Structure 1
Amino acid sequence: MSHVPRAAMPPILPDNTPPFAVDEPAIKPPVQPAPTGIARRATRLNEWMRRYSWAVAMTVAIVITVGGLIILESGRMRIASEYETALEAKGATTQLSMLAADIASLTADERGFALKADGAYQSHFRDATARVRRTLAWLDAYYRRIGDDTALASFAQIRAAADAAIAQGTARLTNPPSDAAARNRTLALPPDTSATLDAALALLRLNEEQRAQHALDASRADQRISTLCVAALCALNIVLFILLFRNLGIQLDKQARVQKALITQQEELDNLVFARTRQLEALAWHLQSVSENEKTELARELHDELGSILTASKMDVAWVRGKLKDSEPAMAEKLARALGNLDQGIALKRRIIEDMRPTVLANFGLVTALRSLVDEAAQRNGWSVEFDLPGEDMKLGEAVEIALFRVAQETLTNAAKYARASRIRVALTIDEANVSLSITDDGIGIRPQDLKRTQTHGLVGMRQRVSARGGRFEIERAAPRGTAISVSMPRERSADAPIAEPSA
């Protein structure tokens, strides 16, 4: 044993030292300072705003719209209330004017009746009295509703004067004076009472007109405010929607770019998968070709080498047995058993060679090889067989024949293991362009979940073998039971050679 000098031996490294250590650079890159809490919060806020700005804008727009609607509704209610106030004030002014006219009519009726005792004056006086009382009742309810104490005090004076005038006129029209002096006193109305009543009515009318004008001015101001609010609301919503649609456009553009990048990446992945698939197909076909070649070489060596050895051994043992048959019966019996074992070995050798490289296929063709293969499988498993094969063998090409024979071999093996069938049908159809093979059994049938399994190497191998030759492989449950396998592939392929491995 040669010894390595100590100086040439590599240094022993500690357990935690990597086998290939790389020196660290002398100058390290500057360390970036860690972001502060405020910077992190600002970054998170900016990220949140970029992500949810459309939601914030939509929420703000909804809030502003609802708030604007509330403001507009309250303004509308104020305007309606102010218009109602103005209408009531105008109505009160009208009622005061009617009250003044009716009181003047009472005085006129009273004087006319004093000049001439006519019943028409009494009837007109009663109608005027009724109108005056209704007007006074309406005005009393109106002033009490609005709560104007000053106007209510003035109205109390007017009401007292009106009641006094009605009572005095009623008394005079009921008991008119008999002499001329009394009638003259009736015609003379105290000037201070009439002036006070007219002044009070004029003051109330003026107050109601001012009230109506104030209410109208307030309603116009509210209308202007409502108009400004609507304009501001519309402008703000327009700005928000512009920002929203701008952000939406940015998001759509970003999404389009991302989608385009995804499509490009998907195309690249598809191309890569296609290239890798072609490489795997080429590799599978190469492995199948290598396997078939190795089987051929092994079958040839078994036939030539092992076959000659077994045949020579059999001949020698038979010669020795013939010499010892009479003198040594026990040894002859042992040698006879050895000859039987040699015959079994020779038969096993032939069966192995036939499985590796069927001589029937090489010598007679696919039709005869299929018939022989199916007959042997039927004898071993007790099947009844139905053939639909061409009458004569046709040369299809070595690769095509091997592929179809291996598919039939694997199918019969699976049927013997799993199908529990009693009947097998084999059909082969050959035309100018394609060759089709169909094998059907009446067993339990393949399960749907087994069709999707990737661990079923037999099915995968058959499918790969057929697809490598540009063919189509199908397997399905037969009706009413059983499994049907069909293969179709071109009769000839360019140069009939293995598929070239595509460049990466």
Structure 2
Amino acid sequence: MQHVAGHDAGHEPGHEARHQAQIETGNHAQAEAPSRSAAARLSAWMRTRSWAIAMTVAIVITVGGLVILETARERIAAEYETALEARDVTVQLSALASQLSRLSAQQNEFLLTKRDDAAHAFCATATRIRASEEPLQRFYRGPKADSAELASFTQIRALIDARIGAGAAALQRAAAQPLDLAACGSTSGAQAVDAALVDSTLSLLRDNEERRAQHALAASRADQRISTLCAAGLSALNIVLFILLFRNLGIQIDRQARVQRQLITQQGELDQLVNERTRQLEALGWHLQAVSENEKTQLARELHDELGAILTASKMDVAWANRKLKESAPDIAQKLQRALANLDQGIALKRRIIEDMRPTVLANFGLVTALRTLADEAAQRNNWTLNLRLPADDIQLDEQTEIALFRVAQEALTNAAKYARASQVSIGLQIGTGEVTLDIADNGVGIMPADLKRTHTHGLLGMRQRVAAHGGRFDIRRGVPKGTDIHVVMPRASAASQPGSDASSAPANTHL
């Protein structure tokens, strides 16, 4: 029992440790899941925005490189300026040392020859030495020289003044008579100066300026190397970017070319479909017009035969009854007389309807007579002044062509009566070789350009479709200075009536 208890006691802590480890592992996995999701989103964003990121990085690197190049250029310019200035100061110090040597030589020459021109030359050299000290004094007092160099130059200047004074005093002592050495400056209290000290101090300053010039040149060379590396890096980066850009442009151009080819193919298919549908609609339109004309002809024939017979018989019966009752029943006779008048109006209405549906004058006398009759009736109704340019003799045209031209003239005169407010109408018909031309013009308000583009003007569309179905040309424009001009050209034999045409085969496509 103690063994079992001890085993359970030893097993229980390990089990709890493993359970705790599993819980911690699950919590850690749950904590890592959002981070993996965020990493996946970041990776997807990087893939979709890689080109933009690359361009941004390239622009930043390019701008940084340009800034570095500009900074290096400014530093190189400053360093070259410093080197030139140091070289200039070195030259001035060398010139000063040379003038001091010439001063010593002129002093020795006077001591040997005792000539006055040697003394004057000594003073002239002293004046040039003091003039040469001025630019050096300005340089060493400037910001580019340190205090030690200024102190050294101040010491040298004092030594040079002492050297000139001591030399002038030596000349006065050695002269047989007093010399005019005012140009040399004050010679009182002048003490002898060691020339080696002056030369060593000048050499020290020259060496400092040489080192400064060498240091500036070395720094400028280092900056030039940095500029060269930056320029090479920028050039390489630009080459890589251009390669990537042209590659991307090539991909885009290929994609656009494929899309363009697809669009061209689709456009061709759509054009073919539109042309096919247009031909079908034109054939259907011609078929409907032909059916309408046939129905009008049939209805006009029935009205003429059936209704005409009924109205004529009724009129004869009413007239007979009117004669019989005229004396015995005058009231009834009066009613019958009114009925006769109504029958006459009905017969006239029947004739007008028949003429509108199928003009008998067109069928019996031809197009020229039909146009003249149509124009005369319209002129009487609307008080128009007519100008007819019609052939003297009637012409023989295809039946469909005659009907199409007559309907166009009928619709044009109807529009002129409804909308044009015209007072004069002109109709012309000309016969050419293989074609016939119809011109209709009025002096009304004139059609507006916007009306020519509207799709709900069924009268114009009907005329245009009727002429196009027969292979003709229809043109309508605003007259000059006002009014409307209609110009129609049609073949003498209608294209719709020729064998094998779309219009002639339209009855077979009535199911479309």
Aligning the two structures, in what range does the TM-score lie when normalised by the shorter sequence? Answer: 0.7 to 0.9
TM-score by length of 2: 0.79
CA distance in 1 between counterparts of 2:42 and 2:376 reads 82
Residue type at the aligned position of 1:242: I
Distance 1:355 1:44, change over 3 A: farther
Residue type at the aligned position of 1:428: L
In the other structure, the counterpart of 1:466 is: 467
Distance 1:116 1:288, change over 3 A: closer
Distance 1:102 1:287, change over 3 A: closer
What aligned pairs does 1:255-294 form with structure 2 within 5 A after superposition? 255-294=256-295
CA distance in 2 between counterparts of 1:306 and 1:428 reads 35
In the other structure, the counterpart of 1:344 is: 345
Which one of 157, 166, 169 corresponds to residue 168 of structure 1? 166
Residue type at the aligned position of 1:336: Q
Which one of 138, 141, 149 corresponds to residue 141 of structure 1? 138
Q: Are 1:489 and 2:486 matched, yes or no?
A: no
CA distance in 2 between counterparts of 1:363 and 1:402 reads 13
1:304-344 Cα deviation digits (max 9, x unpaired): 22222222222222232333233222222222222222222
CA distance in 2 between counterparts of 1:343 and 1:336 reads 11
TM-score by length of 1: 0.80
Distance 1:395 1:150, change over 3 A: same
Which ranges in structure 2 are unaligned for 5 or more consecutive residues? Answer: 1-36, 177-190
In the other structure, the counterpart of 2:505 is: 500
Distance 1:388 1:165, change over 3 A: closer
CA distance in 2 between counterparts of 1:107 and 1:441 reads 124
What aligned pairs does 1:395-406 form with structure 2 within 5 A after superposition? 395-406=396-407
In the other structure, the counterpart of 2:120 is: 123
CA distance in 2 between counterparts of 1:424 and 1:96 reads 114
Which one of 155, 158, 170 corresponds to residue 156 of structure 2? 158
Aligned sequence identity (%): 61
CA distance in 2 between counterparts of 1:219 and 1:243 reads 35
In the other structure, the counterpart of 2:206 is: 205
Secondary structure of 1:175 counterpart: helix
CA distance in 2 between counterparts of 1:289 and 1:171 reads 142
What aligned pairs does 1:15-30 form with structure 2 within 5 A after superposition? none
Contact 2:156 2:202 in 1 (8 A): yes
In the other structure, the counterpart of 1:422 is: 423
Residue type at the aligned position of 1:349: K
CA distance in 1 between counterparts of 2:132 and 2:249 reads 67
Distance 1:241 1:328, change over 3 A: same
Contact 1:399 1:496 in 2 (8 A): no
Question: Which is bigger in relative contact order (C-alpha 8 A, separation at least 6)?
Answer: 1
Contact 2:404 2:467 in 1 (8 A): yes
Residue type at the aligned position of 1:193: D
Q: CA deviation at 1:357?
A: 1.4
Distance 1:374 1:171, change over 3 A: same
Residue type at the aligned position of 2:350: K
Residue type at the aligned position of 1:133: R
Q: CA deviation at 1:211?
A: 2.5
In the other structure, the counterpart of 2:73 is: 76
Distance 1:249 1:116, change over 3 A: same
CA distance in 2 between counterparts of 1:473 and 1:248 reads 50
CA distance in 1 between counterparts of 2:96 and 2:378 reads 130
Q: CA deviation at 1:489?
A: 0.9
Distance 1:153 1:365, change over 3 A: same
Secondary structure of 2:428 counterpart: strand
CA distance in 2 between counterparts of 1:107 and 1:387 reads 133
Residue type at the aligned position of 1:96: L
Q: CA deviation at 1:433?
A: 0.9
Distance 1:94 1:436, change over 3 A: closer
Q: CA deviation at 1:470?
A: 1.0
What aligned pairs does 1:222-371 form with structure 2 within 5 A after superposition? 222-371=223-372
Residue type at the aligned position of 2:80: Y
Q: CA deviation at 1:169?
A: 2.0
Aligned length: 455
Q: CA deviation at 1:87?
A: 3.1
